[in-house]
Structure 1
Amino acid sequence: MRVFVTGGTGLLGNTVLRQLEAAGHETVALVRDVPDLRLFDGLSTHFLRGDLSDVDAIQRGVAESDAVIHSAGLIHLGWTRLRESMQVNRDGTAAIAQACRRYDRKLVHVGTVDTLAIGSRAHPANEATPITAENRQVPCSYVQSKRAGVGEVLAQVEQGLRATIVHPGFMLGPWDWKPSSGRMLIEVGRSWRPLAPPGGCSLCDSRDVAAGTIAAIERGGDQGRQFILAGENVTYFQLWTEIAKRMKSRAPLMPTGPAGLWIAGKLGDAFSLVSGKESGDLNSAIVEMSRMFHWYDSSRAKTELDYTTRHLGETLDDATMWIQSHHMSRQRIPA
């Protein structure tokens, strides 16, 4: 099988390429520029130059493949860059979905749990949990644009597209070249952070999510069936404590209280106002998201996709080792 993959330089996309080739499949990756070949070390991936605004490249990639995994996206957790986020996460997804429908190719679209209802400590959310005023996500640019992208896929399904949508939780693991979510490991490891965010996440291993995503090609159905690919539900305090152990740094003392959160959000927004550029690391949207429990139930994926998850300790061990050897032992980081 020949699979066209977008987002091949990202954590999930790069892992998907490696697992596809390990299973004997041929891969094609959409790349904007000539890539740093270290990102594709050991792979026989064919490169197709273009981006999500290049309709001709997308059409070619889809037409010459048997299936498509769309994992590319723009992640900005803040109030700004909405137009740019929509161009990538909504319009780019629409172009992919339209091409897949035109050439009758199965599409696996990578969404995010951030488009779904928020869970709680008592009741993790699943695909069917209704979104209410109490459990809705923070409507930042990322959430709005990714939700719009899912809408584009479902609109094409109504017109005959064969598609499955997967929603990963918070991923960590090897092959985080940029890094993306692995930045949390670096930040907790390099400087002491006495106060952890008060909320929580569903931590999953990017290798498990990649396997679930690939399984969705054959086993995920064709009618826009949606699957949560999450993992172990933990508080950020627990997660940062475990990260600190592995990074040989000081663990946080406690979760941040409401007053600390309010101050942090205001400071981040004030910096954005003064500098003219919103910080992607600290703003009121991120602060609000950090107090919520993004806890999810992957039972549907475990039943229908044979999705399996490894223990949090193994994920943190492997992700820490990879980040330390690729991002903390030298100056230059591949982009």
Structure 2
Amino acid sequence: MTTLVTGATGLLGNNIVRLLLERGVPVRALVRETADPRPLDGLDVDAVEGDLLDPVSLQQACQGVSEVVHAAAFVAIGRTAAAAAQRINVDGTKALAAAAHAVGARMVHVSSVDALAPGTPQCLADEETPGSKPACPYVTTKRAAEDGIRQAVQRGLHAMIVNPAFMLGPWDWKPSSGRMLLEVALRFSPAAPLGGVSICDVRDVAAGCLAALQRGQAGRQYILAGHNMTYFEAWKLFAEAAGSRGPWSQARPPLTTLIGWCGDRVANWTGREPDVNSVSVAMSHLWHHYSSSRAEQELDYQCRAARETVADAWQWFVDHGYT
């Protein structure tokens, strides 16, 4: 039976599509009219035009499918674009869940560790750790989308939630999270953020998503994280893969807070919020360190070595002209 994938032109969605095809599973991809055609070029995929904001197109896309992987999302770490985040991340997720339920399809909803509480240098966070991250449209709408999935499960939808950490790997056409790798590798940054990150390979996360689809318990949540390290260690690893200079030190909060404040002022003056703003700076101070033990035990989730992941991601960017 056919599997529907949303976000099929994005980093995770494109890797999921390719893994499904490798396994001989027919794939239908929901794509917007304005989507970049390169990620699906040459792939044997039934690409159907639709939009998460159009419930009718979602109902049509779900016809004849037995599984749905919802990997599309609106991602912006900042204080602006609240309306777009609500429409896409919350309303769109609920509409897709309703369409999947109507045809009896199983569903995996791709959330993010950003919807969960952070860890600490001494303790990894898991699915049950209390707390939350700084409030911003992305964080709050991803949490609300998870609530929408849980409500759909109560109505009978067989759905699971996965929470990937910081993904790197091939097929990052936009690029998305790989943009950090490119910026560190191509532009010398003397100081890295103070907090921590969990680097995982997008190919392993794609396999984890499909394992959740096949073996996950309805309503169950699975963290798909990786190797926990400081941003300083991660940035050194990025520079090593590219053969460039890595950071010398970690930036302290007074400086980074000022930089975030400046980003907010730029947003106020121009109407366009830069990637570096008060919210993204606050997030970089946190320890995004997570345990994937539940996924490891229930889904046989495994994450390859971070050095291999970073090297493969960098090589893909080199091969495709991003450097």
TM-score range, shorter chain: over 0.9
Q: 2:204 pairs with 184, 205, 208, which one?
A: 208
Pair 1:256 & 2:224 matched: no
Q: Which whole-Å deviations, capped at 9, do the CAs of 1:307-327 have from their partners, x for residues lacking one?
A: 011000110110010112224
1:316 corresponding residue in structure 2: 310
Q: RMSD in angstroms over aligned alpha carbons?
A: 1.2
Aligned residues: 323
Counterpart CA distance in 1 for 2:128 and 2:137 is 23
AA at the equivalent of 1:317: A
- Written as runs of structure 1 = structure 2, the 5 A alignment for 1:57-206 is 57-131=57-131, 136-206=132-202
Q: 2:226 pairs with 231, 238, 258, which one?
A: 231
Counterpart CA distance in 2 for 1:304 and 1:251 is 38
Deviation at 1:38, TM superposition (A): 3.0
The DSSP-based 3-state class of the residue aligned with 2:320 is helix
Counterpart CA distance in 2 for 1:204 and 1:310 is 8
Pair 1:26 & 2:26 matched: yes
Consecutive unaligned residues of structure 1, counting only runs of 5 or more, are 330-335
The DSSP-based 3-state class of the residue aligned with 2:240 is helix
User: Could you tell me whether the CA contact under 8 Å between 2:9 and 2:36 is conserved in 1?
Assistant: no
User: Could you tell me whether the CA contact under 8 Å between 2:169 and 2:201 is conserved in 1?
Assistant: yes
The 1:112/1:36 distance shift into structure 2, 3 A limit, reads closer
Deviation at 1:269, TM superposition (A): 1.1
Pair 1:272 & 2:267 matched: yes
Query: Which piece of structure 1 moves more, 24-33 or 94-103?
Result: 94-103
Query: Which piece of structure 1 moves more, 231-240 or 182-191?
Result: 182-191
AA at the equivalent of 2:299: L
The DSSP-based 3-state class of the residue aligned with 1:30 is strand
Consecutive unaligned residues of structure 2, counting only runs of 5 or more, are none
Deviation at 1:54, TM superposition (A): 1.6
TM-score, structure 1 as length reference: 0.94
Counterpart CA distance in 1 for 2:105 and 2:20 is 17
User: Could you tell me whether the CA contact under 8 Å between 1:114 and 1:137 is conserved in 2?
Assistant: yes
User: Could you tell me whether the CA contact under 8 Å between 1:185 and 1:323 is conserved in 2?
Assistant: no
User: Could you tell me whether the CA contact under 8 Å between 2:197 and 2:288 is conserved in 1?
Assistant: yes
AA at the equivalent of 1:288: A
Q: Which whole-Å deviations, capped at 9, do the CAs of 1:213-263 have from their partners, x for residues lacking one?
A: 0111110012x1000000000111001011111212211010101211121
Counterpart CA distance in 1 for 2:116 and 2:321 is 32
1:332 corresponding residue in structure 2: none
Runs of 4+ in 1 over 2 A off after TM superposition: 34-38
User: Could you tell me whether the CA contact under 8 Å between 1:3 and 1:66 is conserved in 2?
Assistant: yes
Deviation at 1:277, TM superposition (A): 2.1
Q: 1:295 pairs with 289, 293, 301, which one?
A: 289
Deviation at 1:189, TM superposition (A): 1.6
Counterpart CA distance in 2 for 1:19 and 1:83 is 33
Q: Which whole-Å deviations, capped at 9, do the CAs of 1:127-158 have from their partners, x for residues lacking one?
A: 11122xxxx20111110111111111111111
Query: Which piece of structure 1 moves more, 66-75 or 94-103?
Result: 94-103
Counterpart CA distance in 1 for 2:59 and 2:109 is 16
Counterpart CA distance in 2 for 1:100 and 1:151 is 16
The DSSP-based 3-state class of the residue aligned with 2:220 is strand
Counterpart CA distance in 2 for 1:250 and 1:34 is 37
Q: 1:241 pairs with 222, 236, 254, which one?
A: 236
User: Could you tell me whether the CA contact under 8 Å between 1:192 and 1:252 is conserved in 2?
Assistant: yes
User: Could you tell me whether the CA contact under 8 Å between 2:50 and 2:61 is conserved in 1?
Assistant: no
